[in-house]
């Protein structure tokens, strides 16, 4: 992907992205922009961050960016769960994406061949962001259901999402959310279901792993990329 853009162009698109996706989803992107423009950022790191930002905030299909290296240094959360999701996908897969944001993880799963996905988010702006990404990537609207609400505390959302019906649950959110989420979300997972978490800063790894184990899940993998951690577990 050849790009001829000014920093002002990128800043404008970052601001548009945040307005559309919501503050929670857009915060890592804004952080990445600030890191990219900092005088102390090495040139090679600056280039990698710029490529990641362009891939995220400029209109493109997800297929065009699956091969990109997403920079994860200094607070930029990469969509690290891509490879982990692909590993477990089958045509029968029912997937739940908690904190879906713009719907990227669920859409990737559907592109990899998952049968159906449900996304939840606190931010109503996520609905429009998901719809646009679905259209851009040719996803059948019947295959991706979007719900707004707090699945951790709202019984109505939990009931609507359903119980013991998901083969995979993905959550690319902060550790402080994953800890209370995990003992709740196990009730949405099928026996043998896979729980993939990412967006965990390394000093919170032990806290998340402890929460996963205390919820009765078996930890399968703990992967590191820069300062960030992904934990994959299974409900036995």
pLDDT in tens, 209-234: 999 999 999 999 998 876 778 899 99
Q: Which pLDDT score is estimated for 198?
A: 85
Alpha-carbon distance of 86 to 111, in angstroms, equals 10
| The predicted structure's pLDDT at residue 23 | 66
Position of tokens 């091969």? 67
Instruction: Average the pLDDT over 65-84 and give the result.
Output: 43
Pseudo-torsion of CA 139, 145, 151, 156, nearest 10°? 180
Q: Where are the domains of the chain?
A: 7-75, 82-234
Tens digit of each residue's pLDDT (9 = 90 or more) over 86-145:
788 999 999 999 998 888 788 888 888 999 999 999 988 888 888 888 887 788 999 999
Residue 41: pLDDT band by 50, 70, 90 thresholds? Answer: confident
In CATH, what number does 82-234 get? Answer: 3.40.50.150
All residues at 6 or more sequence positions from 138 whose CB lies less than 8 Å from its CB, including other chains: none
Q: What is the pTM of this model?
A: 0.72
Bridge partners (DSSP) of residue 172 are 198
């Amino acid at each position: 992907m050849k790009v001829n853009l000014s920093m002002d162009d990128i800043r404008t698109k970052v601001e548009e992205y945040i307005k559309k996706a919501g503050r929670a989803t857009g915060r890592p992107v804004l952080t990445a922009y600030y890191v990219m423009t900092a005088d102390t950022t090495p040139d090679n790191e600056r280039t990698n961050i710029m490529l990641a930002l362009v891939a995220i905030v400029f209109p493109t299909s997800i297929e065009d960016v699956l091969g990109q290296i997403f920079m994860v240094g200094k607070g930029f959360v990469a969509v690290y769960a891509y490879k982990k999701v692909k590993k477990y996908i089958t045509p029968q897969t029912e997937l739940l994406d908690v904190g879906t944001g713009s719907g990227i993880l669920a859409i990737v799963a559907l592109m990899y061949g998952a049968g159906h996905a449900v996304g939840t988010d606190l931010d109503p702006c996520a609905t429009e962001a998901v719809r646009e990404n679905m259209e851009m990537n040719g996803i059948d609207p019947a295959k991706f259901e979007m719900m707004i609400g707090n699945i951790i505390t709202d019984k109505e959302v939990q009931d609507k999402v359903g119980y013991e019906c998901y083969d995979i649950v993905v959550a690319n959110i902060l550790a402080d959310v994953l800890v209370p989420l995990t003992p709740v979300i196990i009730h949405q997972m099928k026996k043998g279901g896979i729980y993939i978490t990412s967006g965990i800063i390394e000093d919170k790894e032990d806290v998340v792993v402890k929460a996963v184990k205390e919820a009765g899940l078996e930890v399968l993998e703990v992967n590191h990329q820069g300062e960030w951690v992904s934990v994959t577990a299974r409900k036995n």
